[in-house]
Amino acid sequence: MKRRKFLAQSLIAATAAARTQNRGVLKAAPSKEKLRVAIIGCGRMGQYYAEVYRALPDTEIVAIAEWNPERRKVVGERFGVKALYQDAPALLKEVVPDIAAVITPTKFMKEAVIACAQAGVKGVSTDKPIAARLADADAMVEACAKRNIVFAGGNLQRARHETQEAGKRLVAGQYGKIRGASIHAFGGEISGGGCQHLSVLRLMTGAEVEEVMAWGSPAEALAKESDEGLSVNGCFRLSTGVMCSVFGTKTPYGGVDVWTDNTLVRWDWDAPQIYSGLDAKGARKRIEPNYSPFPWRHVIAQAGLRAGDDYLVASIKSFIEAVKTGSKLAISGHDLRQALEIAIAAKLSAQLGNLPVKLPLKDRSLTLYPSRYRWLGGDQSSNPQSAEDAKRLQP
């Protein structure tokens, strides 16, 4: 018994000594509670992503990829990151993060997303528009799905927590059966800003667009490869049988309406408004939606973030939870792919003289280019960012 007691005490002492000797190594290792993040593309939007990840207690930025050498240096200093690289392949040769946030111009997203998937990250996110060519969007979605990698979308209003709540209520039938929907001001950049409308429509109806009939103007915009200046009017048929009217120009509203027999839910670039019943004049009566409080106010309150970044914070928090627990994403790469496909179908229908176009599209080589700024980034178009601005970019 004495010998056993001696051996047990010796084992405890040896374990304690080993912990003491290795204490420095344990401290240097990443916390199990923190996900290691790489920011790939650190222009203006990439810097806002970095601000959010820096503000969150469960993430740590460990590497940055940015092609502009001056901005790469100053952004690295600004966020205290020493592992700096020109592009995703160079970064991934030396660092395999838990999370990769790809915020490059659209032209370079496919290469970066697939490289991250092949490197073995746990999750990769990107932003809008996801691609110009539908097949490229497919390749990104499939590369991540094949490896069971979480593929998230990014800075879209669909992720706003009030919009998520409104969508869940509608789809659950809390307001009754959905009878109709409409999109307002679906013009300008239907693959860029239009992603917002289409993603909210799909969320709040719980349905896919199965057929598109559209008219586009002006004629010169309809003839371009891009969607710059294009205004689309038309009608979408959803998988639930619901019809959605599409208005290219701004009506008194500029977002998405979804209605039941007695209730209208209106998203117009803010928390959705709820109308139920009629007032004394027989008009729709706006009611208090009673959304739950924004759960990450303490994050938004930190320096470097804007009050309007609430939906970016919500999107990133949804992404982190999906990586940790497998929970559902507020906005996914698949959602961005679907928005691009609907936009391509809308322009195609308009080009064919408002011929109905069924989805999914058989021809995956179809393209719809965004504006030069979205496609190539500000430095290669008309809105470059100086190193000085990158040092102090603030709300």
**Using CA atoms, how far apart are residues 305 and 64, in angstroms rounded to an integer?**
19
State the residue for tokens 């619901």: 242
pTM: 0.89
**Using CA atoms, how far apart are residues 307 and 375, in angstroms rounded to an integer?**
27
Q: What is the mean pLDDT of residues 352-356?
A: 96
How many CB atoms within 10 Å of residue 15? 10
- Percentage of the residues of the chain whose pLDDT score is greater than 70: 91
How would residue 394 be classed by pLDDT, with cut points 50, 70 and 90? low
3 state SS of 207:
coil
Cα distances (Å, whole numbers) of residue 377 to 42, 104, 266: 11, 8, 32
Q: What is the pLDDT of residues 26-44, one digit of tens each?
A: 333 444 679 999 999 999 9
3 state SS of 287:
strand
The whole-number pLDDT of residue 46 equals 94
Q: What is the pLDDT of residues 137-173, one digit of tens each?
A: 999 999 999 999 999 999 999 999 999 999 999 999 9
Q: What is the mean pLDDT of residues 211-223?
A: 95
What are the residues whose beta carbons fall under 8 Å from the beta carbon of 154, sequence distance 6 or more? Answer: 49, 101, 103, 125, 126, 127, 128, 312, 315, 331
The whole-number pLDDT of residue 321 equals 96
Lowest mean pLDDT across 231-240, 328-337, 383-392: 383-392
Q: Is the pLDDT of residue 24 over 60?
A: no
What are the residues whose beta carbons fall under 8 Å from the beta carbon of 8, sequence distance 6 or more? Answer: none
3 state SS of 231:
strand
Q: Is the pLDDT of residue 330 over 80?
A: yes
Q: Is the pLDDT of residue 69 over 80?
A: yes
Q: What is the mean pLDDT of residues 366-387?
A: 88
Average pLDDT, the chain: 90
Structure tokens at 322: 């999906």
Structure tokens at 127: 């932003």
CATH among 1.20.20.10, 3.30.360.10, 3.40.50.1000, 3.20.20.60 for 160-289+332-363: 3.30.360.10
Q: What is the pLDDT of residues 191-208, one digit of tens each?
A: 888 899 999 999 999 999
Longest dimension (CA), the chain: 95
Q: Is the pLDDT of residue 317 over 60?
A: yes
Q: What is the CA angle 364-230-132, rounded to 5? A: 30
